[in-house]
Amino acid sequence: MNNIKTVTKNVRSILEHQFLAVLATQSEGQPHTSLVGFVVTDDLHTIIFATPRATRKYQNLISNPYVALLVDTRQHQEADFHSATAVSAYGMAKEVSGADKEKYRKLYLQKHPSLGDFVTSPTCALVVVSVRKYSMVSEFQNVQELTFQ
């Protein structure tokens, strides 16, 4: 059985220390992946990223809000096969608006201050992913999960 506290601590550490995630979306049965800068809330329930609305990833998540994000610790070395850890987050994405937009934008900019012009552009969407599950793979095949109700 997983030690939930340890899994939570490890997932949090990876998500807080990494700046980029691979976002997976799909449309009409075709997968699409993109790199996105992201931030996670303290409770790990929400991941925030920004994207221009005129992108394939944005159009895909509008037509199908189910997404996955992959964040990993690889160093681009042979040892990564055994030492790297990957965290996948699964959830539903939507563009944030209203009062929450400024709160999430502020959180995003704390991690990515150099993206201020990008994230405040009128053509940029701030997207929140309501995470329902994390899957963490370490030591090549050790899988642990963290699920939210």
pLDDT at 143 over 70: yes
Tell me which DSSP letter residue 115 carries: G
Two tokens at 57? Answer: 């990833």
Can you tell me the mean pLDDT for 139-148?
88
Q: What percent of the chain has pLDDT over 90?
A: 83
Exposed/middle/buried for 45, CB within 10 Å: 0-12, 13-18, 19+?
A: middle
Q: Does domain 4-147 have CATH number 2.30.110.10?
A: yes
CB atoms within 10 A of CB 67: 22
Give per-residue pLDDT as tens, 33-88: 999 999 999 999 999 999 999 999 999 999 999 999 999 998 877 776 777 899 99
Tell me which DSSP letter residue 2 carries: -
CA dist 31 and 34 (Å) reads: 10
Name residue 142's beta-bridge partners.
Answer: 138
What pLDDT does 125 receive? 97
Can you tell me the mean pLDDT for 128-141?
93
Task: Sketch the domain layout of the chain as residue ranges.
Answer: 4-147
CA dist 95 and 53 (Å) reads: 10
Please say whether the beta carbons of 74 and 121 come within 8 A.
no
Can you tell me the mean pLDDT for 11-36?
96
